[in-house]
Structure 1
């Protein structure tokens, strides 16, 4: 075998590799001897078919297998002899005109990982913003849960509905005097002040009494999802069938037992733990972003273009996906298209930080254990149907690249934790709003102070993209935008779409105003 380097420029390498015909022929002979005992042919005893007949019957397949094996071994030798660290799978091409009996000439091109000097871990300074959980916050959470458990009882005859009361109504909606689809309902419950219905609807029912029949006029919002109703004035003929008052809420052990718990103390403890866990995630996000900014500021080595391109493709795919969920997809696509170069720079930053963290981890013995890897694989398998899980497990265990994609996010977090332990960390107590403001300020390019003051503010999506260092967690790291719930047909026209008051039902706010940041799992962990 002959290997000749033809190009060595930056991180790019190119070689010609010649595999002698005699070597391939020898391997074919070995394959013939290996399969001959299993060949069956009329007129010959099992295992006694002559080699020349075996070659005649299976020659093309045996030659292809021998050639493929020779190429794999040639690539292993190339990497080992030249001490290469390929960034991506090498591009290997067999010379035109090759046929059995001739030397196989390969052209190989690849990019290698850069030589990275492991940085000193001295001098890393971080600030941990801690949010203590107050009793008032826990009280708010208890009240929020209680609001979803409200019980209403019939008001006295003749009582006028007030804010917080519940009405049972029939209604028919009309535009230009004509009833429209989805604009009618019977026995619809409505809590006045909940904000579930379009603006102006609930307010006009304050003072209504059981048995009242009235017509109200409202205007649908300009961003209403139904095209035929956007900005339209509509009337609703309403019959009030009942007025109900909310029962008085008492936070006590009985209330906790209704939720399946032993006591109010246990409920408050669980809620406090949830709040602490949530704020701890925000604290980690702020610390990790600061750490990555410090690492990025101190390292500017060249990175393999193919890795940058692969990472950019992942970012771009996610951005296009999110743009497709905006109210004006075309405008959203136009906006990100104008900043395409910025996102390519973000991809480069993420690849560079990923390589740097990997180098730090290897140099300091950070590892993902086999037990942790098995847990990752099994967790990933849960997203597949039961009948497909076993095939997924086998695929990941036999495909190094797939396993590496699963491993990468966890490995990054373990390296980050290692660096947290090595850093000089100052703790500062802040409020939840102050912590959120600190994160948002960093997202907009206003922090840390080391950034140039004149630097253009990056959109929140860019900051979120920058915050993750991982280059390999394509499909595993990205969080998909939540799909909006559809309101039932009988309520669709009257209820405001995904307004803030529907938070308890899990609905999103409209995507109209400001876009939500594109989140990465690595950023939030």
Structure 2
């Protein structure tokens, strides 16, 4: 086997790999010898099939495997010997298209090498951690929101008409073509008007009803309704209003606290304050991370792989175009041209991405199996009822695994760098922190 350099310009590399016919034949014979003891063929005892017959029967298929394994081995040895790390998957193709059995195999391999990335001296890097304490007013506001979600309903004065947001208690009987249908009747059913829990138009016709009213609600089932025998049908529901109740926020007391798993109101306040401060801490970390990346960006400079730069610029242009055209949900749109602004932003992202990856590699930063599992669980919650299918999809999809692992890895590298930097704390108001976060979005 022979490897000859054909290109070495900047980060671009090209090599010609020649695999001799004798080497391929030896590889095929090696594979046949490994398989021979287990081969059974009519007229021969197990393991006694002659090599010549085996080669005639299986040689052509094994030749392809041998060719692939030999080329893969040559590529692996090249990267091990040269120390090159390709920025993207190398492009490999045979150059002797008229190849026939017995000929040498000649392959052209091209790739862009990752650049040599200099070490970063974190001495002198000063960062400021914005600290926000949960104010009493913020805790009170959060408690009021919790009380709103735990609302109850109290009887309205007799004769009061039901309003949107009220709860009414009804008996109803539904009919299609004058005949009652299964599942279309209930007694003492509590329905919050405006909740959208019934089919469109049902709740609207009960706004204004009073206790004792009998209302005929006329609706049409949607064409895509789950029950096929009702889909698209007109229906009449005979409703009797038995109660009309107004929403009433729960009181902020020990009983409310127990509904949310706390022992008493003071315990719930502590939980709320802790949650608020965790949110503030997350926002503060984002501000400090931006400051860290700005500092790193000013400390390093190295050549960037053109393919990574082009791909990142295109992705940025595509993302920004969709932000400016939110009505276009799919990708059926004209090709989006990249601009100098997109390229400049791409340069920063690629440079910092390669730098963080190299820092993580050199310092053996790794994402544990437990951290990956937790990330998968968090993502799976977005697909209620399909969590298992999501887990299986991720396990079978290396690209999806990388999408989940990449941000975890970056965050761990950032935390590592925070430890090396000089970090001071500054207590600020919630409003000041919000302004700092908004400034990130404007950049």
* TM bucket, shorter chain: 0.7 to 0.9
**Matched position secondary structure for 1:3:** strand
How far did 1:161 drift?
A: 9.8
Aligned to 1:50: 50
Aligned to 2:289: 288
Aligned-residue CA RMSD in angstroms?
A: 4.0
Q: Which residue, 189, 193, 203 being the options, matches 2:193?
A: 189
How far did 1:187 drift?
A: 7.2
Aligned to 1:349: 348
**Are the structure 2 counterparts of residues 346 and 260 from structure 1 closer, same or farther at C-alpha, using a change threshold of 3 Å?**
same
Point out where structure 2 has 5 or more consecutive residues left out of the alignment: 170-189, 196-203, 212-240
**Matched position secondary structure for 2:41:** coil
**Are the structure 2 counterparts of residues 439 and 22 from structure 1 closer, same or farther at C-alpha, using a change threshold of 3 Å?**
same
Alignment partners' CA distance in 1, 2:361 and 2:255:
55
**Matched position secondary structure for 2:56:** helix
**Matched position secondary structure for 1:93:** strand
Following superposition of structure 1 onto structure 2, how do residues 75-94 of structure 1 map, counting pairs within 5 Å?
75-94=75-94
- Asked whether the equivalents of residues 381 and 389 of structure 1 are also in contact (C-alpha less than 8 Å), the reply is no
- Asked whether the equivalents of residues 317 and 336 of structure 2 are also in contact (C-alpha less than 8 Å), the reply is no
Deviation string 1:458-517 (CA, Å, 9 cap, x unpaired) is xxxxxxxxxxxxxxxxxxxxxxxxxxxxxxxxxxxxxxxxxxxxxxxxxxxxxxxxxxxx
Following superposition of structure 1 onto structure 2, how do residues 31-180 of structure 1 map, counting pairs within 5 Å?
31-95=31-95, 96-157=97-158, 166=166
**Matched position secondary structure for 1:42:** coil
Please tell me whether residue 22 in structure 1 is matched to residue 22 in structure 2.
yes
How far did 1:118 drift?
A: 0.7
Report how many residues are paired.
Answer: 383
Alignment partners' CA distance in 2, 1:323 and 1:90:
35
How far did 1:271 drift?
A: 1.1
TM-score norm. by structure 1 comes to 0.63
Question: Max radius of gyration: which structure?
Answer: 2
Alignment partners' CA distance in 2, 1:133 and 1:276:
6
Alignment partners' CA distance in 2, 1:93 and 1:159:
81
Deviation string 1:250-272 (CA, Å, 9 cap, x unpaired) is 32112222344321122112211
Aligned to 1:438: 436
**Matched position secondary structure for 2:193:** strand
Q: Which residue, 406, 409, 412 being the options, matches 2:407?
A: 409
**Are the structure 2 counterparts of residues 297 and 268 from structure 1 closer, same or farther at C-alpha, using a change threshold of 3 Å?**
same
How far did 1:168 drift?
A: 6.4
TM-score norm. by structure 2 comes to 0.74
Point out where structure 1 has 5 or more consecutive residues left out of the alignment: 170-185, 192-200, 212-239, 446-525
**Are the structure 2 counterparts of residues 77 and 290 from structure 1 closer, same or farther at C-alpha, using a change threshold of 3 Å?**
same
Alignment partners' CA distance in 1, 2:28 and 2:378:
41
Alignment partners' CA distance in 2, 1:73 and 1:288:
41
Aligned to 1:420: 418
How far did 1:299 drift?
A: 2.6
- Asked whether the equivalents of residues 367 and 408 of structure 2 are also in contact (C-alpha less than 8 Å), the reply is no
- Asked whether the equivalents of residues 15 and 107 of structure 1 are also in contact (C-alpha less than 8 Å), the reply is yes
Aligned to 1:197: none
How far did 1:409 drift?
A: 2.1
- Asked whether the equivalents of residues 21 and 105 of structure 2 are also in contact (C-alpha less than 8 Å), the reply is yes
Deviation string 1:141-193 (CA, Å, 9 cap, x unpaired) is 1111112223332343577999x995869xxxxxxxxxxxxxxxx976369xx
